[in-house]
A and B are shown apart, each in its own frame.
Chain A
Amino acid sequence: MFKAAGFAEFIYADLLELVAGLATSDRLWGDFTDEHKSASIVMYMRLLTSAHIRANCESLAGFIHDPESSGSELTVGQFCEMYVEPMGKEADNVQIYALVRALGVDIRIADITEHNTKGEVPFIDPGQEERSSPEADGDDGTLVLLFRPGHYDIIQKTLFE
Chain B
Amino acid sequence: MASISTRRLHKELSEIRTEGCPCGITLLNADNYETWFFSIEVLGESLYQGEVFKLMFRFDASYPISSPAVQFVVDQNSQAPVHPHVYSNGHICASILGTEWSPVLSVSAVCVTLQSMLASCKVKERPVDNDRYVRTAPDNPKKTRFQYDDDTV
- Which A residues are within 8 Å of any B CB, using their own CB? 7-8, 10-11, 13-14, 18, 35-37, 39-40, 43, 46-47, 50, 81-82, 85-87
Contact = CB atoms under 8 A, between A and B. Distances in A.
Interface of B: 3-5, 7-8, 11-12, 15, 61-62, 64-66, 99-104, 106
Given A10-B15, A87-B65, A36 B3 contact: yes
Given A11-B104, A47-B103, 4 more contacts: A14-B8, A43-B65, A81-B104, A86-B101
Given A35-B62, A36-B3, A39-B62, A10 B102 contact: no
A-side interface mostly = helix
A18 B103 CA distance: 15
A41 to B, nearest CB: 11
Contacts of B100: 81-82, 86
Contact of B7 (A14, A82, A87): A14
A47 B66 CA distance: 15
Residue from B4, B5, B11, B15 having most chain A Cβ neighbours under 10 A: B4
B4 A11 contact: no
Given A36-B4, A36-B65, A11 B106 contact: yes
Contacts of B4: 14, 18, 36-37, 40
B103 A11 contact: yes
Contacts of A82: 100
Contacts of A36: 3-5, 61-62, 65
Centre residue among A13, A50, A87 by max chain B CB count within 10 A: A87
B104 A7 contact: yes
Contacts of A8: 15, 106
B15 A87 contact: no
A87 B8 contact: no
Contacts of A87: 65-66, 102-103
A10 B64 CA distance: 11
In the A-B complex, the 8 residue pairs with the smallest Cβ-Cβ separation, listed nearest first, are A10-B11, A85-B102, A86-B102, A39-B65, A85-B104, A43-B103, A36-B4, A14-B7
A81 B102 contact: yes
A85 B11 contact: no
Contacts of B104: 7, 11, 47, 50, 81, 85
B59 to A, nearest CB: 13
A35 to B, nearest CB: 7
Contacts of A13: 11
A10 B103 contact: no
Contacts of A47: 103-104
Contacts of B66: 87
Nearest to B9: A10
